[in-house]
Amino acid sequence: MSRFTLFAFLLLAATGARATVSFDVAADRLDDINGSPVPAGALVLLVADTDGDGLGQVTAGEVSLRSFLDGASGDDLIVYRSDLSALGIGGSYGVSTGGLELGGAGSGQWSQGDALYLVWFPSLSLSSGSVSPGEAYGARALGVTPADGANEAFVYVAPINGGTFGGARIPLSSTNLRSDLSTINPATAPSVEAPTAVSITAASAILGGQVTAENGGAVTARGVVYSVASANPDPVIGGGGVSTLSSSGGTGVFSVAAPGLTSGITYRYRAFATNSVATGYSASAVFTTDTQLNLINGLASVAREMHPGDLHRFRFTLDSARFLNLTTGGAGLRARLYNSLGQLIAEQSVAGNVAFANLLLSSGTHTLELFRDPGVGTATPYTLAVDASSEVQARPDGAVGASLSSLTGNNVYFPTTQQLTLVSPDSRIVTGYVTGTNRGNISDRLSFQGTPGDTYFSVIYYNQAGANITAQITAGTYQTALMAPASPAAWVRAAVTPTRRAVQLRRSHNFIIGLKSLHNANATDTVSILVNTR
């Protein structure tokens, strides 16, 4: 077996300078974890244990000169960096360091008596800036740092040649310095992120999170903790008023059902995971259960407070079509309003006081969402006022007259009689006008349907433009343009001509004209034109 010699010399600088030491290091064999010689170019470190507790297990981190091999808060100081390229023989290491200044970095101060170690990384090189978890390495003691001014030599030879190491015979296990260790990260609590709350109702929610790392210890439990926000704003397992929900599994996304919640209450919650070391928690988040608003005479009001990032969902039921006026004050909020079909019908996308005015809502259950932008801060008070007291009314109002200036029936409604009587003694054309006015509180279209002529009387209906609309009127398909409430009336002219036979027989005919709301088919009015021949 080849023989190499290990020497260490203490060099003193000129008077007034800091003490320095230098080393000549040679090793006969550095192996990797498989027992094979470490390749040329592998990273080799000289490390000083500055507090006497031995070389700690290498943890992932920086491996630059004067950094700590066992982490930023450690004590094993890297005092020299080199590689196996000098000798060009696999596993064989030799270096002359030159003067290395005693002292230290941070709390680690290299001084007399500190133990020295040789540490090598088969898969790293001088260009490597850091060591990763799981990286294989080897480590063996060299000796201790000599006193200032001393010149002590350490000799290393293979045990088969009877050499000594630090004055003692080298154990056989040290013949091949084998890499049989690997870097680790000390086990810590699991990393937990992304708390989520979905499918929120008045009495339940689905809560969850994500375990992103076990951090050196297998996850043995995970789940969610929650509490009423006003009672415990920072829930942890075993905390006052805290409920715990458990989920199976290790890392990854998970969710759990949270039943038995109270309507309209804000809860704080955190996802958690436990390993053999500790329990890790996600950031704290909030959610609020849904609320059913009870409208009294169409009115409701709420005074609450809202945390950053929270959403308050209110549902309210209308027994008929109504106009909605809604406002908030206090905290700057955004809002979305959905109708009974789940369609978005109004939205405020800029945070501030919400104001929805004169929105037409049909009967059914509607949903209002108020929410606050995420951010840092505490809960802020706000008020909500809902006014759905104004019921939607569709009211067509028919009137009839021999001219548009002499009408009967304005503001009079069926079944009260609204009739125009015309006389045609000699088969002459007689004319009547029927008007339709929108007396409701909603824009509406009105349809007209009139009695057709018969054997004794012919009738032609004309619109305001003078067009013949008889077929549409008698079929009930004639409609006005959209009419705003109290807008000018639309009208139809009826021209009736009795036959001579009708005159001879003194016949009469009553033409019925009905008006109907297109918004509400049950809203109607009726007028008539009675034509006599005597």
Model-level pTM greater than 0.75? no
Predicted confidence (pLDDT) at residue 154 exceeds the cutoff of 60: no
412-458 pLDDT, tens per residue?
A: 999 999 999 999 988 999 999 999 999 999 999 999 999 999 999 99
User: Hey, what CATH topology would domain 191-288 get?
Assistant: Immunoglobulin-like (2.60.40)
Q: pLDDT tens digits for 86-99? A: 666 777 777 778 77
What pLDDT band is residue 167 in, cutting at 50, 70 and 90?
Answer: very low
Q: Where does the pLDDT of residue 354 fall: very low under 50, low under 70, confident under 90, or very high at 90 and above?
A: very high
What is the pLDDT at residue 105?
53
Question: Which region among 135-144, 178-187, 278-287 has the lowest average model confidence (pLDDT)?
Answer: 178-187
β partners of residue 371: 311, 334
Chain centroid, CA 266 distance in Å? 17
- Asked whether the beta carbons of 82 and 100 are under 8 A apart, the reply is no
Cite the DSSP H helix spans in 36-108: none
pLDDT band for 61, please (50, 70, 90 cuts). confident
Most confident range (mean pLDDT) of 30-44, 147-161, 179-193, 342-356 is 342-356
| Fold entry, domain 291-391 | Jelly Rolls (2.60.120)
The yes-or-no verdict on residue 119 having pLDDT over 50 is yes
Tokens 């409208």, located at residue: 295
Boundaries of every domain in the chain: 7-182, 191-288, 291-391, 396-532
The yes-or-no verdict on residue 289 having pLDDT over 90 is: yes
Mean pLDDT of 67-73: 74
For the chain, the average pLDDT equals 86
Cα–Cα dist 281/274, whole Å? 9
DSSP string, 344-402: EEEEEEEEE--EEEEEEE-SEEEEEEEE----S---EEEEEEEEEEEE----EEEEEEE
Position 130, amino acid: S
Q: Is a pLDDT exceeding 60 seen at residue 496? A: yes
HSE-up (13 A, CA, CB side) for residue 474? 14
| pLDDT higher than threshold 70 for residue 158 | no
Confidence of residue 221 (pLDDT cuts 50, 70, 90): very high
- Give the tens place of pLDDT for each residue, 263-277: 999 999 999 999 988
Lowest mean pLDDT among 44-48, 261-265, 272-276, 349-353: 44-48
By the 10 Å C-beta count (0-12 exposed, 13-18 middle, 19+ buried), 378 is classed as: exposed
Q: Give 73's pLDDT tier (boundaries 50, 70, 90).
A: low
CATH classification (class only), 396-532: mainly beta
Band the pLDDT of 133: cuts 50, 70, 90: confident
- Domain 191-288 matches domain 396-532 at the CATH topology level: yes
> What string of DSSP letters covers 58-71?
PBSEE-STTSBTT-
Q: pLDDT tens across 326-340, in order?
A: 999 999 999 999 999
Q: Which of 65-74, 178-187, 222-231 has the lowest mean pLDDT?
A: 178-187
Residue with more model confidence, 487 or 57: 487
